Amino acid sequence: MIPYPLLKLSYSKKINLTETNTFEKSIPMVLKNQIQGIYTNTTTSLNFLQKNNQNIKLVLSNNLPKRKETYSLATIHHPQIIKEFNSFLFKKQKFILTLKKKYQIK
């Protein structure tokens, strides 16, 4: 999902936007100068580059709009799945905190 301020710049022809399905697909595009930059989740991109031993300098911009990403689980037809997931979240709080710390997720 493209943040509104970037869409506004795109509509006014001040920037051109190219979308990819994954961060991994955008890396070769930057390296080949097909695009000038990547708008992505900072933590995700740093973890990917570190995990894949990519020796790429990542320059972060504080001027671009930021958004906090969240995920939800919803179902009308399978309420038991929600109950099981809630139970998992409650029972595995320490494990979840460990994962958040490991991957620098707030």
> Is the residue at 35 inside a domain?
yes
Give the pLDDT band of residue 105 (cuts 50, 70, 90).
confident
Residue 38 near residue 23, CB atoms below 8 Å: yes
What's the pLDDT tens digit per position in 43-97? 778 888 888 877 777 777 877 777 676 778 999 999 999 999 999 999 999 999 9
Q: Mapping DSSP to helix (H, G, I), strand (E, B) and coil, where does residue 70 land?
A: coil
> Is the residue at 47 inside a domain?
yes
* Interatomic CA distance for residues 41 and 66, integer angstroms: 9
Q: Count up the domains in the chain and report the number.
A: 2
Provide the residue range defining the domain that includes 75.
Answer: 70-106
* Interatomic CA distance for residues 66 and 43, integer angstroms: 12
Handedness of CA 101, 63, 38, 8 (dihedral sign): positive
Residue 88 near residue 99, CB atoms below 8 Å: no
pLDDT value for 1: 66
Asked whether residue 10 falls in the same domain as residue 45, the answer is yes
Asked whether residue 42 falls in the same domain as residue 75, the answer is no
> Is the residue at 63 inside a domain?
no
Q: Is the pTM of this model over 0.85?
A: no
